[in-house]
Structure 1
Amino acid sequence: MAEATIKRVCVIGAGTMGAGIAAQIANAGVPVLLLDIAPKDGDNRNAIAEGAVKKMLKTDPAPFMGKRPAKLVETGNIEDDLGKVAECDWVVEAIIERLDIKQNLYAKLEEVRKDGTAVSSNTSTIPLEQLTDGRSDSFKRDFLITHFFNPPRYMRLIELVAGPKTNPDTLEMVREFVDRKLGKTPVDAEDSPGFIANRIGTFWIQQAVNSAFDMGMTVEEVDEIGGKPMGVPKTGIFGLIDLIGIDLMPHLMKSLTSTLPKDDWYQKIARSEPLIEEMIESGYTGRKGKGGFYTMEKGEDGKRTKMAKDLKSGEYRAAARPGLVYGSAAKGDLGKLISMKGKVGEYAWSVLGPTLSYAASIVPEATATVVGVDDAMKLGYNWKTGPFEMIDNIGAAKLVERLEADDLPVPEILKMAGDRSFYRIEDGKRQYLGTDGEYHDIERAEGVLLLEDIKLSSKPIMANGSAALWDIGDGVVALEFTGKMNALDEQVMKLIQKAIPVVKKDYKAFVVYNEGSNFSAGANLGLAMFALNIAAWSEVEKSIKGGQDAYKALKYAPFPVVSAPAGMALGGGCEICLNSDAIQSHAETYIGLVECGVGIIPGWGGCGEFISRWKDNKRHPAGPMPAVSKAFETISTATVAKSAAEAKELGFLRSDDGITMNRDRLLYDAKQRALAMVDGYTAPEKLEYRLPGPSGKAALELAVDSFHKQGKATAHDVTVAGELAYVLTGGDTDITEIVTEAEMLKLERDAFMRLIRNPKTQARIEHMLETGKPLRN
C-alpha cells in the first residue's frame, strides 16, 4: 500500500510541535531524523534536538508511547546533517512561522532531497503558494501542507493542503501514512488563511470573549453556558484559554488579521482587552504560567481553593457555580439554550449565532464539504458535534430566521438548505447536503468499519439495558457495552452467556468492542454499593461468580474471541481482555487491574490470567515466583498502562497482540484478526498453576510491610495486599501441588468477599463514587 513507501522521515524543527510530530512518527515504529539549528555556544552541535527528546521523555502527558520509540529518533542539526534528508521519504518542516526562513530552508532542501521525497510544512498561517514561490516544478510537485494539532500524539486532526502542482500520488502517500501509521484523520483543506479548524476556532473564542466583556458576564457563567451545553469541551471558554495559553491569543489574532481579507467578519471582531494584555505582561498566561482566568490558592489551613478572575475589577475571588443552565438546554438542546430568557439565552446566542454563520460562510472556500468543517472542529477542538450538526440541532430555517432578525450575515449554503437538514439517513447510509444542493453518501476509507454505520441499517441480534450483540458481517459478531462509562454488571454477563450458543450455531467469531470514549471503566460500583448498604452479601457473591462464569464461558467457547479496547479498559474491562484469545488494541488504550485502589482485588479471573501472561512471557525469568511477583507488583499498585505499547511491557497485552493507530480502523482490524483465527480453531486448555504458597506470600508481605513503614502504604493497603498475595501464591497449597483454574477462581472469590465486608473497603468505594478519586485509608 502507499504508506509502505514512507520508511524514514525527517522532521526539521525541534520545538514543541516538531518534536511532538517526531515522537508520534517514532510511536508508529518508523525511524525519524530530528534536526534543529546548531547552538551558538557549547561543543554539542545537536544539543537542541537532543534536549527536545530528553524533555519529551519527562513530559506529562507523554509525547512518546513508551521508552522504546524514543530510540527510533536520531538527532542532528541543519548545518551538519541536512544531507541525510536524501535517506528520507518525507520531510516535515516545523520551524518558526516566518516566510523568509522557511523559503531559505526549502532552497537548501532542494539541493539534497531525492526526487519523490514528500516535503510538507506544518504551517497554519502562511499560504502554500507563498511557501513554494521560487522553487522548481519538481519541488512543487512533492510539496504540501500537513497541519498537525497540538499535542500531535493525542489530537486526531491533520489538515492536508495541496497546491495546484502537487502530485496526487505524493498527496495520497502522505495521506495513507498519517492515517494508517500515525492514527490521524486527514481532512482536505483549501489554501485559505487559517484553513478550517483554527479559522473557526479563533473566531469562536474571540466572539465568546468579546461577548463576556460586553455583557458583564463572569468567567464561571461563560464557562457554564459555553461549555457542555454547547457540546464543546467542558472547560468552557476561559478554561480552554487557560489550557492552551492566554499568550497564544494575540498571536492567533495577528496571524489571521494579517492574512484574511479586510472584509472578513473576523476582522470586525478582532480586538484585545486591557485586562488580558495586563495578565500576559505579568505572567498570568494560564496553566503554564502563574495562573489565568482560574487559579488555585492555598489558605492558611493548607486547603486549596479554586479562584476565578473578576473581569471587571481584575482581582481574584473564590470561584462560584452559577447553576444557570438546566433541563434540556443543559443536555445539548441548542434551540432551547439560545431561547432561554435572560443572560443565558442572550449570551448563548451571541456566541452561537455568529460562530455558526461564520462556519457556514467558509464552505467551500476553506473546505469542499460540510463534513470537512464538522470533522475539523470535532477532531481539532474536541467539539462533541460540528457546526453543521449544531445547525441541524437548531434547524437551518430557524437559524436563518434569527440571523436575519438580528441583521447578521446569512451565508449562501444556509439559504440553499432552506428547511432541509445538512445530514440525513437514507437507505441505511448517512448523507450530507452538498454545495450543489444534492445529498451525497458519506464515504468511508477502505479498512474503516464503524458500529455507528452498522446501526443505521440493522438491529442488534440481542440486547438488554447494559449490552448489545451486533452482526458486523462475514460471520463475526461484536459485543457492545452500553451502560454509563460502559460499566459492567449482571446484565452484561447474562447477555454473554445467552450469546455463546447463538454464535456457536450461526456465526464464526466474536469481537468485544464499542465506540464509547472508554472501553469500560470496570464493574458498576454504584450497584455494588447499593448491595453493600443492605448487606446483600449473597447477591454480591452471586455477581462475582456470574462474572467469572461468563468470562470463562467466553474464553472456552468454540470460536475465537478478540477484544478491541480503546481508552480506559479498567478492572473488569481489563479482565475480559485477559480472557480473550487475542487483543487488537487501539494505541491509546489505558488498561489495568485497578481494584486494589478501591480496597478489593480482581474478581473476574484477572489474578490467574495475569499470572499466566507473565508465566508465558519468554523475556521474563522462568519459575512460579517471578510471574507471581510481577503480577503482585502490578495489581497491588493499581498500575495502568499509559498506551498499548506500555501495556505490552506491563504484560496486559501479549507480544503478538495487535495495535491499531487509527481509532476508526480498530473494529475492522479486530474483525480481520478474529477471522484469521477461525480455520482450525480450538479453545484453549484449562489453566493449571504451580504457585509458591505460604513462603511466597510471606516474601510479598515483607515488601509491603517495608512500604508501610516508609509511609508509602496505608494500613488498609497492607490488608488488601495481604489478600492479593494469598490468592496469587495459591493460598495454603504447596509448590508441589497443582492449583486448578476453578480453585484459583474460588481463592479470588473468597478473598474478594472478605475484603468487601471490610468497612475500610466500603469507605473507599463510597469515596470513589462521590469524588472520582481514591481514598487513602
Structure 2
Amino acid sequence: MSDAAIKKVCVIGAGTMGAGIAAQVANAGVPVLLLDIVRDEANRNAVAEDAVKRLLKTDPAPFMSKAAAKLVETGNIDDHLGKVAECDWIIEAIVERLDLKQSLYAKIEQHRRDGTAVSSNTSTIPLAQLTEGRSEGFKRDFLITHFFNPPRYMRLLEIVAGPESDAALVDKVAGFADRSLGKSVVRTKDTPGFIANRLGVFWIQAAINAAFDLGVTIEEADAIGGKPMGVPKTGIFGLVDLIGIDLMPHLQKSLTGTLAKDDPYQAIARTQQLIEKMIADGYTGRKGKGGFYRLNREAGKRKEAIDLATGDYRPQAKATVPTGAAAKGDLAALLAIKGKVGEFAWAVLGATLSYAAGLVPEAADDIVAIDDAMRLGYNWTFGPFELIDKIGAAELAERLAAEGKPVPPILTLAGDRSFYRFEEGRRQYLGLDGAYHDVVRPEGVLLLEDIKRVSQPLVKTASASLWDGGDGVAILEFTGKMNALDGDVMTAIGKAIPLVAKQYKALVVYNEGGNFTAGANLGLALFALNIAAWGEVEKLVAGGQQAYKALKYAPFPVVGAPAGMALGGGCEILLHCDAVQAHAESYIGLVECGVGLVPAWGGCGEMLDRWRKAKGMPQGPMPAVAKVFETVSTASYSKSAAEAKELGFLRPSDGITMNRDRLLADAKAKALALVEGYQPPAKPEFRLPGDGGRAALTMAVEGFRKRGLATPYDEVVSASLAEVLTGGEADWVDTVSEDQLLKLERTEFMKRVRDPRTIARIEQMLETGKPLRN
C-alpha cells in the first residue's frame, strides 16, 4: 500500500496534542476532520472550533501557514462521527482513560470503512487492552501512533503494532507519517512508556533524586547534566519547567502502575515534598507562576531559582560548570571529577545508561531504536548507546559491578567493543547476536554525512566544501562556524562553477547544520569596521555579488536546499538559485535592516524581479517596489517554508520537503529534472519609480516613526533601502539594469557600514542575539 492512499485524516480529541496533530496533518496539505465532545448546545462544535482558534494564536505556531488552518474541518463526536467513513486514518487523542477509549472505539467501528487505519496517541495504555472486545477486523487495522508535543516541531513518532495488526497498513501509516508529516518513525514494542518516555522519565527522576541527595543546586545540576552530556541547554530542571512540573506525578504513577515490580524504575520513583508543594501552589513551570526557575517581575524581572534545601526562591546563580575535556563531551573526564560534580554525573549517567542497556530487547529489537528515540524525542545530541561508547561499555560494566549493581547482559556482550563502528565507510551497530550490522537508511534518504565518510571534497576552503553527490550532481556545503558566509565561501563558489560546468550536470547548495546559514559573518565584518578597513568590506560586498551572479548565470541548474535559518546572505543565495527545495522548517528572510544595513548581494533586484512577475501583482513600477520595501525594511522572515512562499522568498513552484532526512535526495532529484535543455535565465531590466516613489516610501516610514513603530535610525536605514529599490537617480521612464542595481546596493551598504549607529547594532546582535532599537 502507498502512503499516498491517505487522502483525509480524522483526529478525535481537540486538546493540546490532538489539535496539534490535526495542524500538522493540515501542514502536509491533507484535509483533516477534528472532532470532540459537545459541551455547548448553542454551538455543538465549540470545543473543536475553539481549539483551532487557539492554534492560530499559539507561539510557536502549530500551523505553518494560515492557509493550512483552512484544511481543518471541525465537528463533534455525537453529530459527525459518521464522517470517519470519508477518512483513511482515524487518530484517537482523547484523555488517557481506558474505558473512554474503548467506548469511543465501539462507536468508531460502526462507521469506519474496513481497511481504515485506527490509531491511539496513548503513551501509557497497552495495545492489547485498547482493542479488548473489538472485532478481528478492528484489531487488524489498529495500531498505536505516539506523537510528541508539539507535533509540528518534535520529529519522533513511536509506532506500536499488535500481533494482529496488518503489517501493510502499519507500513502505510508509517510511510505517510515519514514523508507527509515529516516524522522519524521508531518501531517500538508494546511495553509501558514505549522507549522515549520510559527512559526519559527514568533519567529525569534519577537526576532530581541525585540533586536532592547530593546537595546540588538546580543551576549546578543543569550545568553538569546539560551540555557536557549532550542534553539541550535547558538542562534537566529547565526541561521539567518546560514540559510542566505537574505532569511528572502523572507519568510516575503511570509507569509505577504498569511496569514490573522488579523494574529498576520502581526503586527510584519517589515524591519530593517540595515539588508537591510547588504544584499545589501553582508553580508548575513555564505555564504556571514559575517553576524551578522563575522571572520575578516584582523585583524588576529578576531571574530566580528555587533552593532545593529551603524551598525559597533566590537570585539565579551562575553555576560552576565543568571545564576542559569534561565540558566538551568527554564523559570519562566528567565522571573522574572529584566531589559532587563527578558524583552527580555518575548518579545520572550510571543509572540512566544502565537502564537504557536493559531495554534491549524488551522495548526495542536493537540499540539504534533506543538511540533514535532519545535523540528525536528528548533532543539529546547522542543516544544512550552512543554515550556508553564515550565511556566504554567495559568501564561502565566494571563500575556498576564494583558498586554491587546488576550489569545488563548487553554490556557484557559488548565487552571491550564499541556499540557503533565504521566499516568501509558504513556505520554499523552491535546486535544481540554479537555481530555488527549496517545501519540502513530508509529508502529515499540521502545524507551528506554518509557521502563525506567515503569521499574527499572536490573543493575545500576554510568555510565551504564541494562534494560529489552522485548521478552527476555536486553539493556545495557551508562549513564555517554557524555556517556563516565570508570570502572563503565566495572563493569556493568561484572554484566550484568551472569544475561543475566541466564534470557535472547540476549543483545543490545544502548542508546538515542546525541552520542553513544566518548570513554574513558579522564578527569578521565588525572587526573590519572597527579598524576602518572600508576597502576590505567593499571587496567582500563586490565579491559576494560576483559569486552569486556567477551561480545564477552558470551553464547548469543550481538548486538551493535550506533547513532552519536562511537569513540575509543565506536568503540571497537562494534567491539566485534556479529552484529551491526547502525543508518545511525553513526560516528565510532579508533581515539586514535589523542590523542597520541593506541587502547587498543582489537580494534587492532578485526580490523586485520576483514580485513584478508574481501572479495578481498590479502592473507599473510601484507595486513591486512597495511590496519588497515593506518586507525588507521590517526585516521580516518566514516562520516556515510555506510562509516563505507568501513573502516571496520562495517561488510558488519551489518544493517543500517535510522530512529533514529526505531533503538532499529531493533537492538532487529537482536538480536532475532541470538538466535537460537547461538555459541560464536572461538578465532582467527594471522600470523603477525614481524620486516620486522614493518620496512615498519615505513618508510612510516617517509616519511609522511618529507612531512609535520605527526608530529614528530605522528611518535612515529605510531611506537607503528606498534609494536602491526606486532606482537612485533614475526616473520611472528609464530602464535600470541589474548591474546598476548592484552598484546602488554597494553604495548604500557602504554608507550604512560607516555609520556608528550600524556598528552599535551589529555589536549588540553579536553580544545578545537581539536587535538594538536605536
Class of the TM-score when normalised by the shorter of the 2 chains: over 0.9
Distance 2:118 2:342 in 1: 48
Residue in structure 2 matched with residue 26 of structure 1 by the alignment: 26
Residue in structure 1 matched with residue 765 of structure 2 by the alignment: 768
Matched, 1:481 2:481: no
Residue in structure 1 matched with residue 91 of structure 2 by the alignment: 92
Residue in structure 1 matched with residue 630 of structure 2 by the alignment: 633
Matched, 1:133 2:132: yes
The DSSP-based 3-state class of the residue aligned with 1:207 is helix
Distance 2:685 2:367 in 1: 57
Distance 1:288 1:99 in 2: 27
Distance 1:495 1:92 in 2: 49
**Alignment deviations for residues 413-462 of structure 1 (CA, whole Å, 9 cap, x no partner):** 11100111111111111111111111111111111000011111111111
369, 374, 379: which one pairs with 2:371? 374
Distance 1:95 1:280 in 2: 24
Q: What is the identity, as a one-letter code, of the residue corresponding to 1:167?
A: D
Contact 2:321–2:327 (Cα < 8 Å) also in 1: no
Residue in structure 2 matched with residue 533 of structure 1 by the alignment: 530
Residue in structure 2 matched with residue 695 of structure 1 by the alignment: 692
Distance 1:374 1:190 in 2: 15
User: 1:621 offset after TM fit, Å?
Assistant: 2.0
User: 1:770 offset after TM fit, Å?
Assistant: 1.1
549, 553, 559: which one pairs with 2:556? 559
Unaligned runs of 5+ residues in structure 1 are none
**Alignment deviations for residues 219-253 of structure 1 (CA, whole Å, 9 cap, x no partner):** 10001001111101110011111000000110100
User: 1:688 offset after TM fit, Å?
Assistant: 1.0
Distance 2:676 2:759 in 1: 47
The DSSP-based 3-state class of the residue aligned with 2:429 is strand
Residue in structure 1 matched with residue 214 of structure 2 by the alignment: 215
608, 618, 623: which one pairs with 1:621? 618
For this pair of structures, how many residues does the alignment match?
A: 774
Residue in structure 2 matched with residue 196 of structure 1 by the alignment: 195
**Alignment deviations for residues 185-241 of structure 1 (CA, whole Å, 9 cap, x no partner):** 000000000000000000000000000000111110001001111101110011111
**Alignment deviations for residues 572-614 of structure 1 (CA, whole Å, 9 cap, x no partner):** 0100000100000000000011101100011111111111111
Greater shift in the superposed pair: 3-12 or 620-629:
620-629
Distance 2:151 2:345 in 1: 31
574, 599, 602: which one pairs with 1:602? 599
Greater shift in the superposed pair: 705-714 or 663-672:
705-714
Residue in structure 2 matched with residue 55 of structure 1 by the alignment: 54
Residue in structure 2 matched with residue 260 of structure 1 by the alignment: 259
Matched, 1:650 2:647: yes
**Alignment deviations for residues 636-672 of structure 1 (CA, whole Å, 9 cap, x no partner):** 1000100000000010000000000000000000000
312, 330, 341: which one pairs with 1:333? 330
Residue in structure 2 matched with residue 294 of structure 1 by the alignment: 293
Distance 2:228 2:427 in 1: 25
Report the RMSD for the aligned CA atoms in angstroms.
Answer: 0.8
Distance 1:93 1:310 in 2: 41
User: 1:400 offset after TM fit, Å?
Assistant: 0.9
Residue in structure 2 matched with residue 45 of structure 1 by the alignment: 44
Residue in structure 2 matched with residue 499 of structure 1 by the alignment: 496
User: 1:771 offset after TM fit, Å?
Assistant: 1.1
Residue in structure 1 matched with residue 11 of structure 2 by the alignment: 11
Residue in structure 2 matched with residue 736 of structure 1 by the alignment: 733
Distance 1:737 1:343 in 2: 74
The DSSP-based 3-state class of the residue aligned with 1:501 is helix
Distance 2:221 2:109 in 1: 50
Contact 2:147–2:156 (Cα < 8 Å) also in 1: yes
Distance 1:582 1:292 in 2: 47
Residue in structure 1 matched with residue 152 of structure 2 by the alignment: 153
312, 323, 329: which one pairs with 2:309? 312
Distance 1:121 1:621 in 2: 50
Matched, 1:168 2:171: no
Residue in structure 1 matched with residue 236 of structure 2 by the alignment: 237
Greater shift in the superposed pair: 401-410 or 220-229:
401-410
User: 1:500 offset after TM fit, Å?
Assistant: 0.5
Contact 2:560–2:574 (Cα < 8 Å) also in 1: yes
The DSSP-based 3-state class of the residue aligned with 2:428 is strand
**Alignment deviations for residues 53-84 of structure 1 (CA, whole Å, 9 cap, x no partner):** 01100000111001001111000111111111
Residue in structure 1 matched with residue 569 of structure 2 by the alignment: 572
Q: What is the identity, as a one-letter code, of the residue corresponding to 2:34?
A: L
User: 1:42 offset after TM fit, Å?
Assistant: 3.6
Q: What is the identity, as a one-letter code, of the residue corresponding to 1:393?
A: K
Distance 1:619 1:431 in 2: 54
650, 662, 669: which one pairs with 2:666? 669
Distance 1:159 1:637 in 2: 41
Contact 1:596–1:637 (Cα < 8 Å) also in 2: yes
362, 373, 377: which one pairs with 2:359? 362
Residues 422-441 of structure 1: pairs in structure 2 closer than 5 A = 422-441=419-438
The DSSP-based 3-state class of the residue aligned with 1:511 is strand
Distance 1:698 1:323 in 2: 56
User: 1:299 offset after TM fit, Å?
Assistant: 5.6
Distance 2:105 2:298 in 1: 55
Q: What is the identity, as a one-letter code, of the residue corresponding to 1:22?
A: A
Contact 1:354–1:408 (Cα < 8 Å) also in 2: no
Distance 2:685 2:475 in 1: 30
Residue in structure 2 matched with residue 725 of structure 1 by the alignment: 722
Distance 2:118 2:547 in 1: 53
Distance 2:105 2:769 in 1: 51
Residue in structure 1 matched with residue 36 of structure 2 by the alignment: 36
Contact 1:425–1:456 (Cα < 8 Å) also in 2: no
Matched, 1:143 2:133: no
Contact 1:496–1:550 (Cα < 8 Å) also in 2: yes
User: 1:622 offset after TM fit, Å?
Assistant: 2.2
The DSSP-based 3-state class of the residue aligned with 2:132 is coil
Distance 1:683 1:233 in 2: 44
Unaligned runs of 5+ residues in structure 2 are none
The DSSP-based 3-state class of the residue aligned with 1:653 is coil
**Alignment deviations for residues 315-366 of structure 1 (CA, whole Å, 9 cap, x no partner):** 1111111223101111111111111111111110110000000011001110
Q: What is the identity, as a one-letter code, of the residue corresponding to 2:531?
A: I
**Alignment deviations for residues 277-306 of structure 1 (CA, whole Å, 9 cap, x no partner):** 000000000000000111112366xx4221
Q: What is the identity, as a one-letter code, of the residue corresponding to 1:187?
A: V
Greater shift in the superposed pair: 538-547 or 763-772:
763-772
Distance 1:435 1:572 in 2: 49
The DSSP-based 3-state class of the residue aligned with 1:92 is strand
Contact 2:8–2:32 (Cα < 8 Å) also in 1: yes
Residue in structure 2 matched with residue 755 of structure 1 by the alignment: 752
**Alignment deviations for residues 26-48 of structure 1 (CA, whole Å, 9 cap, x no partner):** 00000000000111x44111000
The DSSP-based 3-state class of the residue aligned with 1:159 is strand
Residue in structure 2 matched with residue 347 of structure 1 by the alignment: 344
Distance 1:328 1:14 in 2: 47
Q: What is the identity, as a one-letter code, of the residue corresponding to 1:286?
A: G
**Alignment deviations for residues 448-483 of structure 1 (CA, whole Å, 9 cap, x no partner):** 000011111111111111000010100001100011
Contact 2:461–2:491 (Cα < 8 Å) also in 1: no
Distance 2:251 2:224 in 1: 24
480, 487, 497: which one pairs with 1:490? 487
Consecutive aligned runs of 4 or more in structure 1 exceeding 3 Å deviation: none
Distance 1:579 1:355 in 2: 49
Q: What is the identity, as a one-letter code, of the residue corresponding to 1:549?
A: Q
Distance 1:468 1:513 in 2: 10
Contact 1:228–1:330 (Cα < 8 Å) also in 2: yes
Q: What is the identity, as a one-letter code, of the residue corresponding to 1:18?
A: G
**Alignment deviations for residues 371-419 of structure 1 (CA, whole Å, 9 cap, x no partner):** 0000000000000000000011111111111111122221111110011
Q: What is the identity, as a one-letter code, of the residue corresponding to 1:257?
A: T
- TM-score, normalised to structure 1's length? 0.99
Distance 2:196 2:724 in 1: 53
Matched, 1:583 2:580: yes
Q: What is the identity, as a one-letter code, of the residue corresponding to 1:592?
A: G
